[in-house]
Structures are given as C-alpha cells and as structure tokens.
Amino acid sequence: MGSTQDIPSTSHLDGFCYFFGHPLTHSLSPLLHQTVYDNINLKWSQIPLDSTDTELFLRLIQDPKCVGSTVTMPHKVNIIQHLNELTEECRDIGACNTIFFKEKDGKRLLVGTNTDHIGIREAFFQNLPKGANSDIYRGRPGMVIGGGGACRSAVYALHRWVGCNQIYIVNRDVSEVQAVIESCKKAGFGDSLIHVKTVAEAEALEAAGAIVSCIPNFPPKTPEEIEARAVIEVFLEKKEKGAILEMCYHPTPFTEIGIASEKLGWQVILGTEAMIYQGLEQDRHWTGKPIADLPSKQVHAAIAAALAAHGKSH
C-alpha cells in the first residue's frame, strides 16, 4: 500500500484506531476491537493499514478522530524513533505494539506502549488456580521459545509478573538470543536469562514452571530447528509440570508443541487468550474505560466463534 486511495473511509465513524503492519492477513484484532466498541455503544472501528510506509501512517494518525493504533510486525521496533514518549515497559521491552495520544501544552503527543506483556500476564493469571495453587509456576524457572519481539515481551512478563527466578531461552538462531539477552540486560532484567542450546544442557537444568512459545507452528527441518525442538521436549518430559502459553493461534491454536505438552500433562493456554487481554489493555488506553467495564466475555465469545468457523472451513 502506498496511496491514500487504498485507505478505507472513516467519515461514518466517530472515532477509530489503525492496525498498522504487513502482512495483516488472518488477524482477529479488528474483530476483537469491533466487539468492544459495539458492546459499549461507540461508533468506532479498527482500520487495517496493511503497509510498510511509515511516513504515510504517521500522516494518517494525525486525523483528529484517530484515537491511536495497534502496531505489529515489521514495525514494532522501528516505530519507536518516531514517537514523542514511551512508557517504561515499552522502553524496557524495546518494542511498541500500541500508540495512544496525550495532550501536553496544547499539542497531541504520540505515546508508545507495549500491551503484549499484559496479554501474557493475564493469560496465565486468568487461566490458572489462584492462591495456594499458584506455585505451579511462581519461584520456578520460566522458559521462552523463540527470539523475536514476542520473545522479549514474554521474558519481561515472566520476570516482572509471573515471578520466575530464572528464564531459559530456546531458539534455533543464536544471534537472535544474544540480541534478546543484551537488550534485557540493558533494561536491567537480563541477568537471569540462560540460553539453552543442547539436550545435555537441558537435562542438567531444573524443570520450568511457566513456558511461553513464540514460534510459528512448523515442523523442525534444519539441524538447528531439530536440536531446539529436542531441547523443548526434554523440558516437557521432566517430571515436574506447569503451564505453557502457546502464542501461535493461526491457522490453528492447537499446535504441535501445544498438543505434545497436553499429552505430557502440561496445562495448555491458547494464544488467543494473550491476544484478547493485550487488546483489552489497548482499549483501556483508547477509550479511557477501566478493564472491568470492557466486555471481556463478549470478546471471548466472538473470538471463539471465529476460530470455530475457521476450523469448519478448513
């Protein structure tokens, strides 16, 4: 996309947010936000902007009716340099998935934040036993599978919210993991990260209590992918179990890693849970309404129906 002719009209709306990224196929984000707005009687929508043109995006969001934007790949890191302010979590994670506006001295400032870590936190908190049984993960090591932007949010969430004393990272690409560790160390929470490269290293480590998988649902093919999958299997097969959040939900939330985990006695949390809670957090910023006043049940029902319909069509 490069011309304004491709951009949907917003003249019929009282307010809107953008969904900026490329490619945007199959995302449930517009459905999530439309469900929120319809249920709280706002004549708003989320407008998909499938584009790599950052300058175009920065012009479009100046529209007075624009309340902010979701930012997804490949823009989560690059967009930061164009913003006026960043929240603490956005700085620490090093990636922005949400823009909202703030008025200061008569000017409208672009503020970047990251709600992905809230999505991960709530996916665990809302789907696991409270109280005495919360030690399923608290005080135990955590593990993140992957090395991209979602991995950084997962490390931040496991460190800040879930209470993991160490965090293992398993990924096929050594340089990606090194970049994550260096970034997290600069932000002050990288010292507890351990890159687990081999089966032998995995066998010698304590079992993880909370796992976040941030990789696509593809069978391993290269030697590096096969070794990484073997490392994951070592942790899944350990006697002590916990909960695993499978962030991948397209084309199905029931992934190879998720199915294997369930068979081995792990509690599997679907990635749509993290997606829903990060989206509700975005709408908290945009609407000004507290999370408790947003229609969480209706959003869960709409996303479940969309997944069921997709499953029947394939």
The residues assigned a catalytic role are 76
| Cα distance between residue 314 and residue 271, in whole Å | 19
Question: Is-contact 194 170, C-beta < 8 A?
Answer: no
Crossing angle for the helix pair 296-312 and 271-287, nearest 10 degrees? 140
